[in-house]
Structure 1
Amino acid sequence: MILDIYKDAFEYSAKDWKTLLILGVICLFSFLLIPLFLITGYNYRVVNTAVHGIINGRDPLPDFDDVISMFIDGVKVVIIQIIYLIVPVITFIVFILIASQLSGALKSTVVLIGCLATLILGIIAFLMIQMGICHMAYNDGAFTKAFAFKEIKDVINEIGVFECILTYAGIIIICVVLSVVVTGITGLIFTVFGISGSILGVGAGGILLLGTLVNAIITTFIVGPYLSIFAGRSIGLLYTMQI
């Protein structure tokens, strides 16, 4: 089932290359924050489409309409993420403060325990964030449903905690591998051009600089948006496994 989710998400993310380019353009201005919320809002629409769809269905990519609504959805998602991350962050800070008053082996032990506790709470928070966002989307965008802890816990239990963690781990691995492969291939091509140019007496520095620019363009306008949609689709479809 997990492989079916990935297969669907791979195909879904490549349905409309124009959408990837639009997301890439918005991403260029994400440092202004407002575009960042628009990207997050669009990803929420991808999740929303998925939780109301089926694996290997014919769901279209969401439209870039009603920008204000998209922006509001993005803000809601960011707030959800921040709230869920408060506990692991505070836990880490508390352990660090305690460790700062100690010394030697005891200090190291407290730091280690703090890191382990933060990691565990972080994983739980991550699960709750993803399923909370899906649960909100499934319930017509009701913000409070993102914090319906018992309902979300039931959803995770119905899907299976191991299946959830495995799916998320797979998404992360796939995103990292694809990014590295694309970057590596592009870098290799321009490195070969650079070496060849150097042999022929052409400045290799300019070629390598061009390669860096091309790599940045590909990552911004194609790879990044594609993987963003892929992750949102995968998480949304995972939620449907309990319906």
Structure 2
Amino acid sequence: MISDSLDYLRTGEGWERTALIGGLLAFFSFLLVPGFLVMGYLLRVLRATMHGDEADPPVFDDWTAMGVDGLKAFVISLVYGFVPGVVLAAAFAFGFAGLASGSDAGALTGGLVLLVGGLVALLLSLAAAYVVPAAILNYAATDRLGAGFAVGELTPMLVDRTYMTAFAYAFVIALGVGVLSGLLNAVPLLGAIAAAFVGFYAGVMVAYIYGTSYAEMRTVELQDDPVVDERAAA
């Protein structure tokens, strides 16, 4: 699957232009709007691959719709990241208050709050990282922002072995890109630019993996649906 995702973008005509635009937008993603455009493009990759179109990668066009799409995906990610962020902020606030109290008991309590709160925030962050791709997949499939928070629709996906495998592949890619980006960033500016292009390409790979995995899960779901079987028999 990783090899297929690596080749996916290059199957499109004029893929160099797509990679160039995507890399530049990724480099300027700190300005937010370019980041929304990148996320919007990745949503197009998700939609294309989840519908079985693996031979014709999308291109950058209809910028307004793409930006709005990316903004919605960002909102979904932000909501899921809110709780871990609040827990971590509270742990730091109360923990450092205890450490600065000047008493041994306060320092001990503050240290424990920092340790436990940080651990809880880490676990919640890992859970959010696992759920967010499924939430965005469900949004991409339905075009409903609320679908990203539909627990009843997300739960079957989250416990599906195909989704777990896709998450594992995506994690490996993210880990590799993180290491490579760290090495590239050792070179001022040029390294950061190169890392942005690597990050965009990796994002396309991950979107391909999740999109094709969703298509596989959907196919299995339809095959197991007795209503579909009855219609086919009729």
TM-score, length of structure 2 as denominator length: 0.76
Q: Which amino acid aligns with 1:231?
A: V
Residue 63 (structure 1) aligned to one of 59, 62, 66 = 59
Identity of aligned residues (%): 27
Give the SS at the match of 1:242.
helix
Distance verdict in 2 for CA 1:127–1:213, change over 3 Å: closer
**Residue in 2 that maps onto 1:37:** 36
Distance verdict in 2 for CA 1:96–1:27, change over 3 Å: closer
1:110 shift after superposition: 1.8
Residue 8 (structure 2) aligned to one of 12, 20, 35 = 12
Q: Which amino acid aligns with 2:77?
A: Q
Distance verdict in 2 for CA 1:61–1:114, change over 3 Å: same
Contact in 2 for aligned 1:37/1:75 (Cα 8 Å):
yes
TM-score, length of structure 1 as denominator length: 0.74
Q: Which amino acid aligns with 1:137?
A: A
Alpha carbon RMSD of aligned pairs, Å? 2.6
Q: Distance in 2 between matches of 1:232 and 1:74?
A: 13
Distance verdict in 2 for CA 1:14–1:105, change over 3 Å: farther
**Residue in 2 that maps onto 1:156:** 158
Q: Which amino acid aligns with 2:195?
A: T
1:111 shift after superposition: 1.2
1:223 shift after superposition: 2.1
Q: Which amino acid aligns with 1:52?
A: H
1:1-243 correspondence to structure 2 within 5 Å: 4=1, 6-15=2-11, 16-53=15-52, 58-102=54-98, 103-139=106-142, 141-159=143-161, 163=165, 165-179=167-181, 183=184, 214-220=190-196, 222-243=197-218
Bigger relative CO (Cα 8 Å, ≥ 6 apart): 1
How many positions carry a matched residue from both structures?
A: 208
